[in-house]
Amino acid sequence: MTAHPVNVVRLDGNPAAVVETIRTYEPSGYQFRLAESWRSTGYTIDGVEVVNRTTGDLILIENDGPGHESEDLHRFGMVEGRYYIVSAQVLNDAPDRPDFICPAFVQRDGPAVLGCLGFSTLTDSHGLPRPRCWREGSDGTRSF
């Protein structure tokens, strides 16, 4: 549910270099977004207004098209074995959707995104919250 392809890549060497794209997930034509609202704080920094941003309901956006109201989300309801690739912001703001995943360990070459090593979720297979941080061991393995 992104506007761009998502590449899952494999690394090789030290320092790690992308050697292979394992899988590419193409855009579906839709994106999940969060409704936003802005409220003035009454402050400015160097003449630029500072606002408070809050997020609201999950909305469905057609790429290059109009937004849809929340009731249209039923087309993308939870189905066992189906996952939706979403942004990290949508993932973090929709903890009640265990079918949402986002790219994890994103690999970059300067500003260019090459791909990711896997996916991140907020829940484990039993729907329990998962820790949001990881630790890298001396052997290069990552544990959560």
Q: Would you call 53 exposed, middle or buried from its count of C-beta atoms within 10 A (0-12, 13-18, 19+)?
A: exposed
Checking if the pLDDT of 136 tops 60, the result is no
Task: Look up tokens 């992104």; give the residue.
Answer: 2
Residue 28 banded pLDDT, cuts 50, 70, 90: confident
What is the chain's mean pLDDT, rounded? 79
* Per-residue pLDDT tens over the stretch 87-122: 998 998 888 888 899 999 998 888 988 899 999 988
Distances (CA, A) of 111 to 23, 106, 107, 114: 21, 12, 10, 9
